[in-house]
């Protein structure tokens, strides 16, 4: 007990230890593609862009796709009438630690066909980038911002990719990565110092600051003409 | 799109609503100061503002009184629950779940336990299943009553707030009598519940179920035909079915737009398909339909609770599975094997097999997804909560566009959000 307890305490400072570091994230056995109509159709339409298909927890179909074709596949799943995954439930990521690639997870549901599908893309840690799907599902906006905020995945083409839960000037990294310690990277004193030095402007989005600036300019101009006339 | 298999259409009052058509919102001529013409103004609402229902902050860009753009800023209540979960044993996460939606905590407790049980392949006992259905429906009422009271108060109807909270107080008592806590219930464990029901609890619940409809009738008398209520809610914040789905709205907000998507019907869990209940669906997708849908959902939840109370079987509340359930206390004190078993479960914790599972339930505010990933250890690799409020509130900028500033408060209230779960 003493040893476990000590290790757990160290985890607060260093981040949790990866259970057993390997090159790949764990994978289940390849499932029968005919067990899910969308997977069979995906295999036909996209060939080897579909890397792997597995069934988790009894009835959850998971499809691994190549990250560079991920958006194309998601758009196809959304647009094709026989599949029509019109409800994007979730966009998130899983970090297994130990230098293994991050899994980007899309949880889809089709309201008309009453079917679900989980699409995963594995992103190597040195290339955490994906295409944004906001133009396919507008509801992806905040979910992608959260994945960016928590894991540092950059979504290309996102209309407003800013941090969402953490403040915009947060400098300690990406909290849900496995190498991020529970207490943060800075000491409590440094965190307090930074909080006290916060610039009020960092509480506003860029487009809001632009409006405020326009108002300020107009007011300055108005007061100039007033004093000039007097 | 959006297959409209309407199971139960909420009806507007034919007298006041003119053949079920919405009453057009009154348009007031807005006197704009000439020098302000065309100039936009920023208004900061919150984070400390009662009408934002927590610590939500909205920055609204206005042209006169019309909203040009609204940007919600969240994160003021961020507690990194998901990160904390990676440092805790499977059972120790339960107390984190009820701090997310503290307005309907039991639904979150149950959803989390169900996700882990699915991952471990555990089938809970019949009594536990029915009890969880009762608790989840009770908390749906709990959440909807809070929505009703606070929304009415935002619009100016203080009486409704008092009526709703008087009824909520009775649910608080039910929570307390069963779990010992009013809000932070933490009632579930992997494989069962923290305890069986105390003597007399079902009678107390029956009494509540029998008397709540009277209060609901009174509240509906106060609101449904109220001219102020109608003109503040009808045609405000409307969203069509296709758009509602595209924005990821779920729960009453989606159903008010006419999409009959309910997890309890579409992906039934815990034998929901055997209960007799209707899914109320709106037509116009505006704030008034969201109100009607929620009122009807409370009544449908009462129906489910009545049926569940009828069929609540006797028998054990926890599964007979030594991997997850502690031995009875008397055994642990009296025989060696049980004591070792108890010791190992407490000191090492439950081990979940390698794999992952996603479990969706219909929470009070929409679809709640619990996603757990395990590498075979005593702690999750990842525990993710797909919160309905988080996604619902992200559609707020779209809903308030072009409305008046006062409508921002109405629309925000009508979405039924809880900041504990948005910020996590």
Convert chain A into a string of H (helix), E (strand) and C (coil): CHHHHHHHHHHHHHCCCCCCCCCCCCCCCCCCHHHCHHHHHHHHHHHHHEEEEEEECCCEEEEEECHHHHHHHHHHHHHCCCCCCCEEEEEEEECCCCCCCEEEEEEEEECCCCEEEEEEEEECCCCCEEECCCCCCCCHHHHHHHHHHHHCCEEECCCCCCCCCCCCCCCCCCCCCCCCCCCCCCCHHHHHHHHHCCCHHHHCCHHHHHHHHHHHHHHHHHHHHHHHHC
> Does residue B233 carry a pLDDT above 70?
yes
The reply to whether residue B83 touches residue A114, judged by beta carbons under 8 angstroms, is: no
> Does residue B162 carry a pLDDT above 50?
yes
Contact A183, A13 (CB under 8 A): yes
Domain boundary assignment for chain A: 18-183
What was the pLDDT predicted at A9? Answer: 59
CA angle B312, B318, B320 (to 5 degrees): 125
Q: What are the phi and psi torsion angles at B36 (to 5°)?
A: -90, -10
Contact B253, B398 (CB under 8 A): no
The reply to whether residue A28 touches residue B369, judged by beta carbons under 8 angstroms, is: no
Q: Which of A203-212, B7-16, B37-46 has the highest mean pLDDT?
A: A203-212
Residues contacting B330, CB < 8 A, separation 6+: none
What was the pLDDT predicted at B392? Answer: 92
The reply to whether residue A142 touches residue B391, judged by beta carbons under 8 angstroms, is: yes
What was the pLDDT predicted at B23? Answer: 56
What was the pLDDT predicted at A209? Answer: 86
* Residue whose pair of structure tokens reads 């339909």 in the numeric block: B289
The reply to whether residue A182 touches residue B87, judged by beta carbons under 8 angstroms, is: yes
Residue B236 lies in domain? 8-16+74-423
What was the pLDDT predicted at B18? Answer: 47
The domain total for chain B is 1
With CA atoms as reference, the chain A residue closest to B390 would be A142
In a domain, B46, yes or no: no
CA angle B285, B147, B27 (to 5 degrees): 50
Contact B141, B363 (CB under 8 A): no
Q: Confirm whether the ipTM is greater than 0.90.
A: no
Residues in A closer than 8 angstroms to B371, CB to CB, are 90, 92, 105, 107
What was the pLDDT predicted at A85? Answer: 92
- Indicate the fold that domain A18-183 takes in CATH: Beta Polymerase; domain 2 (3.30.460)
> Does residue B376 carry a pLDDT above 90?
no
- Interface residue B23 vs chain A (CB under 8 A): no
> Does residue B332 carry a pLDDT above 50?
yes
Other beta carbons less than 10 A from residue A185's beta carbon: 15
What span, in angstroms and rounded, lies between the C-alpha atoms of A140 and A152? 16
> Does residue B173 carry a pLDDT above 90?
yes
pLDDT profile of chain A (230 residues), mean per 10 = 59 54 62 82 86 86 91 91 90 88 92 91 89 92 93 91 87 88 87 84 84 83 68
What span, in angstroms and rounded, lies between the C-alpha atoms of B358 and B383? 10
Q: Where are the alpha helices (DSSP H) in B180-318?
A: 201-223, 227-233, 241-246, 252-255, 263-266, 287-311
For an interface test with A, which of B40, B78, B248 has the most A Cβ atoms less than 10 Å from its Cβ?
B248
Look up the CATH number of the domain holding residue B299: 1.10.645.10
> Does residue B295 carry a pLDDT above 50?
yes
Sheet holding A102-110, edge to edge: A50-56, A60-65, A115-123, A102-110, A87-94
Gyration radius from chain B CA atoms = 23
Q: What are the phi and psi torsion angles at A158 (to 5°)?
A: -70, 135
In a domain, B243, yes or no: yes
The reply to whether residue A116 touches residue B267, judged by beta carbons under 8 angstroms, is: yes
- Of residues B367 and A216, the one with the higher pLDDT is B367
Of B42, B118, B250, the CB nearest to A208: B42
- Percent of chain B whose pLDDT exceeds 90: 46
Least confident segment among A117-121, B328-332, B363-367: B328-332
In a domain, B397, yes or no: yes
Q: How far is B170 from chain A (nearest CA, A)?
A: 34
With CA atoms as reference, the chain A residue closest to B57 would be A203
pLDDT, mean of residues B75-104: 90
In a domain, B68, yes or no: no
Q: What are the phi and psi torsion angles at B57 (to 5°)?
A: -120, 130
* Residue whose pair of structure tokens reads 């988080």 in the numeric block: B390
Least confident segment among B20-34, B174-188, B389-403: B20-34
Contact A120, A91 (CB under 8 A): no
Tokens of B288: 């008034």
Read off the pLDDT band of B3 (50, 70, 90): very low
The reply to whether residue B356 touches residue A57, judged by beta carbons under 8 angstroms, is: yes
What span, in angstroms and rounded, lies between the C-alpha atoms of B142 and B147? 9
Contact A105, A93 (CB under 8 A): yes
Of B59, B86, B390, the CB nearest to A142: B390
- Please tell me whether residue B53 adopts helix, strand or coil conformation: coil
Q: What are the phi and psi torsion angles at A28 (to 5°)?
A: -85, 175
Say how many Å lie between the first and final Cα of chain B, rounded: 33
Dump pLDDT digits (tens) for B112-159: 999 999 999 999 999 999 999 999 999 999 999 999 999 999 888 889
Q: What is the pTM of this model?
A: 0.87
* Residue whose pair of structure tokens reads 């476990």 in the numeric block: A4
Read off the pLDDT band of B346 (50, 70, 90): confident
């Amino acid at each position: 007990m003493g040893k476990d307890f000590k290790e757990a305490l160290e985890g607060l400072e260093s981040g949790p230890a990866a259970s057993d570091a390997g090159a790949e994230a764990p994978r289940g056995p390849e499932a029968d593609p005919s067990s899910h109509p969308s997977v069979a159709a995906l295999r036909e339409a996209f060939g080897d862009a579909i890397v792997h298909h597995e069934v988790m927890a009894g009835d959850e179909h998971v499809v691994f796709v190549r990250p560079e074709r991920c958006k194309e596949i998601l758009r196809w799943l959304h647009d094709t009438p026989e599949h029509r995954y019109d409800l994007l439930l979730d966009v998130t990521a899983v970090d297994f630690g130990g230098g293994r690639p991050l899994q980007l997870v899309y949880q889809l549901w089709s309201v008309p066909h009453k079917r679900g599908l989980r699409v995963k893309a594995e992103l190597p840690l040195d290339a955490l980038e994906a295409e944004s799907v906001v133009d396919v599902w507008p509801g992806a906006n905040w979910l992608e911002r959260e994945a960016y905020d928590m894991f540092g995945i950059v979504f290309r083409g996102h209309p407003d990719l800013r941090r969402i839960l953490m403040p915009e000037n947060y400098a300690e990294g990406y909290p849900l990565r496995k190498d991020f310690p529970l207490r943060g990277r800075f000491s409590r004193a440094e965190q307090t110092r930074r909080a006290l030095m916060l610039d009020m402007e960092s509480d506003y989005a860029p487009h809001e600051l632009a409006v405020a600036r326009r108002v300020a300019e107009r007011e300055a101009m108005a007061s100039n003409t007033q004093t000039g006339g007097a | 799109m959006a297959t409209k298999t309407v199971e139960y259409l909420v009806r507007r009052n034919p007298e006041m609503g003119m053949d079920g058509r919405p009453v057009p919102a009154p348009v007031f001529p807005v006197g704009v100061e000439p020098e302000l013409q065309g100039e936009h103004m920023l208004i900061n609402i919150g984070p400390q503002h009662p009408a934002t229902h927590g610590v939500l902050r909205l920055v609204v860009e206005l042209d006169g009184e019309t909203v040009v753009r609204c940007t919600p800023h969240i994160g003021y209540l961020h507690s990194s629950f998901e990160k904390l979960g990676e440092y805790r044993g499977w059972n120790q996460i339960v107390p984190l779940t009820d701090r997310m939606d503290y307005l309907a905590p039991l639904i979150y407790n149950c959803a989390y336990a169900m996700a882990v049980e699915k991952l471990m392949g555990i089938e809970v006992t019949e009594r536990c299943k029915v009890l969880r259905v009762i608790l989840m429906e009770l908390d749906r009422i709990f959440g909807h009553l809070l929505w009703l009271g606070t929304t009415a108060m935002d619009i100016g109807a203080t009486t409704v707030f008092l009526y709703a909270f008087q009824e909520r107080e009775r649910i608080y008592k039910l929570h307390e009598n069963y779990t010992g806590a009013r809000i932070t219930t933490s009632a579930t464990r992997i494989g069962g519940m923290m305890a069986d029901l105390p003597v007399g609890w079902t009678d107390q619940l029956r009494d509540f179920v029998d008397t709540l409809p009277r209060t609901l009738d009174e509240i509906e008398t106060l609101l449904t035909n109220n001219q102020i209520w109608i003109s503040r809610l009808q045609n405000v914040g409307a969203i069509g079915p296709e758009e509602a789905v595209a924005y990821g709205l779920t729960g009453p907000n989606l159903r008010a737009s006419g999409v009959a998507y309910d997890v309890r019907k579409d992906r039934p869990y815990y034998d929901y398909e055997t209960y007799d209940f209707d899914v109320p669906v709106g037509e116009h997708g505006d704030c008034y339909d969201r109100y009607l849908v929620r009122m009807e959902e409370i009544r449908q939840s009462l129906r489910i609770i009545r049926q569940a109370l009828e069929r609540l079987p006797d028998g054990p509340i926890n599964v007979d599975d030594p991997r997850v359930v502690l031995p009875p206390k008397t055994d642990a004190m009296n025989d060696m094997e049980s004591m070792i078993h108890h010791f190992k479960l407490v000191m090492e914790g439950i081990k979940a097999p390698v794999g992952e599972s996603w479990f969706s339930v219909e929470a009070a505010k929409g679809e709640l997804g619990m996603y757990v990933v395990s590498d075979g250890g005593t702690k999750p690799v990842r525990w993710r909560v797909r919160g309905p409020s988080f996604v619902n509130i992200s559609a707020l900028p779209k809903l308030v566009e072009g409305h008046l500033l006062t409508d921002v408060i109405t629309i925000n209230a009508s979405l039924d959000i809880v900041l504990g779960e948005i910020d996590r």
